[in-house]
Amino acid sequence: MTRIRLIGLASASILLLTGCGSVPAFNPGVAARVGDETISVNEVDDVSTSFCTYVEGQLQQGQVLAGHYLRGQVAGALALRAAVDQFADEQGVSAADDYAQAVDQAKGQLGSLPDDQVQAVIDVQGVTLYLQAVERSVGEEQGASGDAATKAGEQEFLAWLADQDVDIDPRFGVSIDKGVTTPVDTSLSYGLGDTTKKADADQPDTAYAALLPETQRCG
């Protein structure tokens, strides 16, 4: 059986952006829509605050991230998780047991942190593991096992996702493409200064991000 780990992905995922599909006009306060479910801007902000506090403890001394990146990662993760929840419900499955084991392991390793930070790490950094665990359960229901089950479930999820309305507010600059969250340029405004441009580049310059106002950065 394939074992999965949630903690240990922090360094690789901190600088990644995540998100969901193309976007129509959004009602005030709505960050994303996944079918009939909405994710509020307030929820994104709350999770971003908790996740930022955690991330600050992982960054090397002097490193800073632009807040735009962090909020995009959070908004995308929450939207993708909502999509996976709906997919699992429709398929009548839950995540494979390894996911619960990974969450328990993460809680043990993060036990000294406040509950909101622990949950933020699970919600944001654990979303890919959650998706894979659900995909594996779907594949196992079809009679496959191991990697073959995960692959079969992935195909089912991608086919299901293609028929869903999954939208994210363009302010977050992220999209779901083939079940994977990726950065996209959906900004309706542009930074004109050198600091803003480099802090918000596809590969963010942490030195320039440090020059941003405190309210626009993490670290």
pLDDT tens for each residue of 1-60? 444 455 544 433 433 333 333 334 578 899 999 999 999 999 999 999 999 999 888 876
For the entire predicted model, the pTM comes to 0.80
Q: What is the pLDDT of residue 141?
A: 97
The CA-atom distances, in angstroms, between 217 and each of 1, 25, 61, 148, 196 are: 41, 27, 15, 42, 11
pLDDT per position as a tens digit, 55-103? 888 876 657 776 788 899 999 999 999 999 999 999 999 999 999 999 9
Fold (topology level) of 10-218: Triger factor/SurA peptide-binding fold (1.10.4030)
- What's the rounded Cα separation, in Å, for the pair 59 and 45? 20
Which residues 6+ apart lie within 8 Å of 100 measured at CB? none
pLDDT band with cut points at 50, 70 and 90 for residue 213: very low
Report whether 59 contacts 3 (CB < 8 A).
no
HEC sequence for 124-170: HHCHHHHHHHHHHHHHHHCCCCHHHHHHHHHHHHHHHHHCCCEEECH
Q: What is the pLDDT of residue 7?
A: 53
Buried b / exposed e over 38-60, threshold 16 CB at 10 Å, is bbebebbeebbbbbbebbeeeee
